[in-house]
Structure 1
């Protein structure tokens, strides 16, 4: 797998930090990476790539961020059969559902025929050095390197 699309949303920069680390893992595998913030992406873009990386922080009591809602709804129109994906996001454990946006995106990818190759990576607020390494591993795992 060489062509990977990463789509993410970050409000405070925590999920963007995770995205940067996932990108490093993908670069290790020499993937051709296209990175888009979700408001610059369309779900139909996913169909043009072998690998998909989605990143979203969890909003409120366990919801997707507002800027991800249109993209999420557009996903109902795409066929992701044969594609592989990973999902990550920052979250706050003070809410009843920790990192639910990650779970919501995984379920939608699977519903659309995509194979999610790793458990969703959820990080409390800003990623630590160890959690950034987990993000790099997530990128490598998408490419089958871990």
Structure 2
């Protein structure tokens, strides 16, 4: 059984969080599949019961617009009943992009593993990475 972790990372911060989620998935005995968003397929991902999506805050607290936002638009009508973990890093603001993303996914019928996602200011610290790992384990147990 595999759990996909699809992410976009510009600086490596969100990638580090994705790797921590993967570590948690594997600690629960599942295979973690790390995919940069440009290598992911929304239709294939929608066949999974549980998966993770990661993206940093960009611009005015938005998802990355050239790859991640189009992917999320394609995936959005397919997420009803899916268990999803959202995560990402930010460098400014207060996490509004994550709250908006979480509300968007809940409105589409997704069940979020962490109600407001997991966010890290800049480089994720040990606490953020531990939270990602714990959430990855929980996600795997739900799959």
For the Cα contact (< 8 Å) 1:54–1:87, is it kept in 2? yes
Structure 2 spans left out of the alignment, 5+ residues: none
1:48 and 2:44 are equivalent in the alignment = no
**Residues 105 and 4 (structure 1 numbering): CA distance in 2 closer, same or farther, change over 3 Å?**
farther
SS at match of 2:89: strand
Q: Which runs of 4+ in 1 moved over 3 A?
A: none
Partner of residue 109, structure 2: 113
Partner of residue 95, structure 2: 99
Structure 1 residues 105-114 or 64-73, which shifts more? 105-114
**Residues 104 and 5 (structure 1 numbering): CA distance in 2 closer, same or farther, change over 3 Å?**
farther
1:74 and 2:71 are equivalent in the alignment = no
Partner of residue 3, structure 1: 2
TM-score, length-scaled by structure 2 = 0.86
SS at match of 2:29: coil
CA distance in 2, matches of 1:108, 1:117: 14
Q: CA deviation at 1:53?
A: 0.3
Aligned residue pair count: 140
For the Cα contact (< 8 Å) 2:95–2:119, is it kept in 1? yes
Once the two structures are superposed, what CA deviation does each residue of 1:58-105 show, in whole Å capped at 9, x if it has no partner?
A: 002211112212102212442x23321111100013x3xx33332333
For the aligned residues, what is the CA RMSD? 1.9
For the Cα contact (< 8 Å) 2:54–2:88, is it kept in 1? yes
CA distance in 2, matches of 1:131, 1:47: 27
1:142 counterpart (124, 132, 139):
139
For the Cα contact (< 8 Å) 2:46–2:75, is it kept in 1? no
For the Cα contact (< 8 Å) 2:7–2:35, is it kept in 1? yes
CA distance in 1, matches of 2:97, 2:41: 18
TM-score, length-scaled by structure 1 = 0.85
Structure 1 spans left out of the alignment, 5+ residues: none
